[in-house]
Amino acid sequence: MKVKKESMKRKEHHWFKLDLSANVYPTLQRRNFSSVYRVSALLRQKIDPVKLQAALDSTIPRFPTFAVAIHKGLFWRYLERNTKPGPFVRPDVSNACMPIHFKAENRYLFRVYYYENKLSLEVFHSVADGSGALIFIKTLIAEYLRLQGIKIPYVEGVLNCKNAPNEAEMEDAYVKYGDGKVSLKRSGIHAYQLRGTMEPFYTLNIITGIAPIAQLAAAAKSYNVPIGVFLTAVLMEALMEKQKLDKPIHEREVAISMPVNLRRFFPSETLRNFIVMLSPSINPKMGAYTFEEITQEINAYMTYRLNEKYLKANIMTNLLVQRNPIVRVIPLFLKDLIVRNAYKKVNKRQSSAGITNLGIVKVPEEMKEHIERFEVLMGQPFSNRTNVAVISYGGEISISFSSSIVETDIEMLFFCSLIKKGIPVRIESNRKYRET
């Protein structure tokens, strides 16, 4: 009996199946595209890389789903425990979210960067979604501050690195909650696509707007919608205006792809992926839309779909494909070919832009004075579309655009719209000045 208890205590996970979302990202991997995103924290002091490395070394064992490498099987990929040295903190780079090559850097699927007072975590999406990455970086910052003698309690998503990993944090929540009997039909629209001049290889243009939450909340309240809906409506309006400026022969629907954090609706503690995608859209052929009409259209769409029953049906749409006995026995190289071609021809055409919102970041009271701001950044778009990432902390909201094209029409229309609505915006960018 004693031996059994000891073996249970020493239980370790040596490999993980890729979760439902994680399966698609390696398939789309290519030389100049990788599903990498970034979560950053601006501290109020210059970062000591030696202490940061020590903090990372003590944090990793608490997150076994991060300490992994990706491998190929005959039918599926899987994540295997990675015991190689690393990962190692490094000075930041000018272009964020560059592809993670699966066999490089001792096969780790995340990176930690520092620059002056900025700490950044980049994660390949097969490892975790933004919620999991946010818990990782908060725990890392807490460990870093503890090395400086600052006492930080284990609350608000800061995990105790002395404790063993929790089984619930490693679960595939899609499988756990994918017990619905109904699945959704896939959208068949061909959405408006941005056109632009592609940047040179490995160039990601970033434009970030920082605004006060109070004034943004007041503007959203004036339209009787949440902040997330309000920002999505501003982006929708910008895309619709840009399409008119393009003067197309036939206007197409404008659709925005957005991930929904399922932890809000299902009691899961997983640090892996647990999101589904929603895509509100508006068809300009139906007539001219005022901004108020756009906000109400998106709000109605979200209200109808943000409930447990609809979201479970959304989960089932992809889960049934994965469980199909024919799909299960198709060799991996054929799965990759089918999925990649389907994504190029269908999926990427179904949205005009993407937006993700990690919401308000909460940290222990003792950490607040040491953190100035959080930022989140989506990586390279698969096509010419722009991606928008939103995060809030300490009374400010950070709105970051990332794109691989030269033109900045959407960013200009978006931020100008916020300013016209009475919301002051401070702009930061990694873009270099170009003479015209």
Task: Write the pLDDT tens digit of every residue in 358-398.
Answer: 999 999 999 999 999 999 999 877 677 789 999 999 999 99
Average pLDDT over residues 50-71: 97
Supply the pLDDT for residue 8: 37
User: For residue 336, is pLDDT > 90?
Assistant: no
Average pLDDT over residues 31-55: 93
CB contact set of 46 (below 8 Å; sequence gap of 6+): 116, 117
Supply the pLDDT for residue 346: 64
Task: Write the pLDDT tens digit of every residue in 191-220.
Answer: 999 988 988 877 889 999 999 999 999 999
- What is the identity of the amino acid at 9? K
Kindly report the CATH class assigned to 13-177: alpha beta
Average pLDDT over residues 406-415: 96
CATH, range 205-429: 3.30.559.30
Residue 87's region, left for phi above 0, alpha for psi from -120 to 50, else beta, is beta
Average pLDDT over residues 218-228: 97
Average pLDDT over residues 240-263: 94
User: For residue 240, is pLDDT > 80?
Assistant: yes
Average pLDDT for the chain: 91
Task: Write the pLDDT tens digit of every residue in 115-166.
Answer: 999 999 999 999 999 999 999 999 999 999 999 999 999 999 999 999 999 9
Which of 178-187, 239-248, 402-411 shows the lowest mean pLDDT across its residues? Answer: 178-187
Strand partners of residue 205: 403
Supply the pLDDT for residue 217: 97
Give the side-chain half-sphere CA count within 13 A for 216: 27
Q: Tell me the H-state helices in 265-391.
A: 291-305, 308-323, 325-329, 332-345, 365-368
The DSSP output letter for 105 is G
Report the candidate in 417, 290, 411 with the shortest Cα–Cα distance to residue 355. Answer: 411
Supply the pLDDT for residue 7: 37
Supply the pLDDT for residue 381: 74
Banded pLDDT at 335 (limits 50, 70, 90) = confident
Supply the pLDDT for residue 189: 84
- What is the identity of the amino acid at 212? P
Q: Is the pTM of this model over 0.85?
A: yes
Q: What are phi and psi of 223, to 5 degrees?
A: -105, 5
The three-state secondary structure class of 268 is: coil
Query: Between 210 and 98, whose confidence is greater?
Result: 210
User: For residue 436, is pLDDT > 70?
Assistant: no
Common-topology check for domains 13-177 and 205-429: yes
Report domain extents, the chain: 13-177, 205-429
Report the candidate in 131, 69, 81 with the shortest Cα–Cα distance to residue 106. Answer: 69
Average pLDDT over residues 260-272: 96
Beta-strand relationship, 90-91 and 110-115: parallel
Residue 184's region, left for phi above 0, alpha for psi from -120 to 50, else beta, is beta
**Rounded to the nearest 10 degrees, how much is the dihedral formed by the CA atoms of 350, 351, 354, 355?**
-100
Length of the chain: 436
Report the candidate in 46, 169, 63 with the shortest Cα–Cα distance to residue 110. Answer: 63
User: For residue 11, is pLDDT > 60?
Assistant: no
User: For residue 284, is pLDDT > 50?
Assistant: yes
Burial of 152 (0-12, 13-18, 19+ CB in 10 A): buried
Supply the pLDDT for residue 111: 97
Tokens representing 7? Answer: 């073996």
Q: Do residues 393 and 214 make contact, with C-beta atoms less than 8 angstroms apart?
A: no
